[in-house]
Amino acid sequence: MFITRLISGIVLLAIVILTGILGGPVFLSFVALISLLGVYEFYRMLHLQRSILFYTGLGMCLVLDALLFFGKAGAADALPVLVLLIFMTLYVVSYPKLTAREVFASYTGWVYAAVLLSFLYRVRMAEGGEMLLWLVFIGAWGSDTCAYCAGRLFGKHKAFPELSPKKTLEGCIGGVVGTALIAGIYAACIRHWADASSVSVIQFGLIGMSASVISQVGDLAASAMKRNCNIKDYGKLIPGHGGILDRFDSIIFTAPLVYYLVRLFTVWTF
């Protein structure tokens, strides 16, 4: 089991690194693929994978990706409003076949798996995005590693006993501190090797710290949804890890946060 998890993790990481370095249509295709798979996993969790809401959600994923590809960021920002109107129209014309709970849960799932993941591409295509993108993964997967190590070494107090019995307060704090340090070191490396004097170690550290906090929220939110729906994993696509949403649950939250914090701190001029 460990070997399987390790190998699949290495393969996934290699795909992320390769597509992230290439950027452009290649990275957008990767983001589009995981978004479509994420939407499918979410709707399957709700037993709605054969409903009109599901097919509409998939179609709107492609529309979102097309808008981003053609540089229509403003239209992409407005798309969630249009999708809500479409879902409510389907609710009306299909009544009473669809319920309000199904419609709003489906809309939430689309925003969760499609809109939030699209910020991966937005970060990558921003000025300096070839460097900024890795802050998202440092804030998510780096935080997860630091929290695990800190929990194993120092963990004594349960942080969320009913939701995630293995998570400890010490592990959570270690994740935040460790991620801040990694992000700061990453900034120092950029300043030295990429000759980017505008990069601030302190700002990167703060972004890493914030990303760690929200990534842990994302992980716990995914656990809560799975518990409510009585499932262990979202899927089995990634051996040893589960589904796309199992592996990218924290990325879903860190990507938009990093995007907006970078704009706030003006690490690079957008």
Question: Tell me: the pLDDT tens digits for 14-69?
Answer: 999 999 999 999 999 999 999 999 999 999 999 999 999 999 999 999 999 999 99
Q: How confident is the model at residue 191 (pLDDT cuts 50, 70, 90)?
A: confident
Residues 6+ apart with CB under 8 A from 11: none
Tell me the C-alpha distance between 240 and 133, whole Å: 25
Average pLDDT over residues 1-23: 88
Number of residues assigned to the chain: 270
Average pLDDT over residues 196-213: 88
What are the CA-CA distances from residue 253 to residues 25, 35, 72, 137, 232 (Å)? 23, 14, 22, 11, 21
If we measure between CA atoms, which residue out of 235, 17, 233, 29 comes closest to residue 130?
17
Helices (H), ranges, 24-96: 24-45, 52-69, 73-94
Higher pLDDT, 245 or 162: 245
Residue 3 has what pLDDT? 81
Tell me the C-alpha distance between 224 and 27, whole Å: 30
Tell me the C-alpha distance between 206 and 143, whole Å: 13
Tell me the C-alpha distance between 6 and 26, whole Å: 25
Report the SS3 class of residue 46.
Answer: coil
Residue 262 has pLDDT above 50, yes or no: yes
Question: Tell me: the pLDDT tens digits for 117-143?
Answer: 999 999 999 888 999 999 999 999 999
Residue 196 has pLDDT above 70, yes or no: no
Q: What is the largest CA-CA distance in the chain?
A: 62
Residue 108 has pLDDT above 70, yes or no: yes
- pTM for the full predicted model: 0.92
If you average pLDDT over every residue of the chain, what do you get?
Answer: 92
Specify the residue for token string 């290495």. 10
Q: Would you say 169 and 157 are in contact if contact means Cβ atoms under 8 Å apart?
A: yes
What are the CA-CA distances from residue 4 to residues 9, 181, 240 (Å)? 8, 30, 6
Instruction: Return the minimum-mean-pLDDT range out of 21-35, 52-66, 182-196, 250-264.
Output: 182-196
Residue 2 has pLDDT above 70, yes or no: no
If we measure between CA atoms, which residue out of 46, 70, 62 comes closest to residue 114?
62
What does R_g of the chain's alpha carbons equal in angstroms?
19
Written as six digits, the tokens of 157 are 């107090």
Tell me the C-alpha distance between 29 and 151, whole Å: 36
pLDDT above 70 covers a percentage of the chain that reads 96
Residue 194 has pLDDT above 90, yes or no: no
Residue 210 has what pLDDT? 96
Specify the residue for token string 């890493």. 208
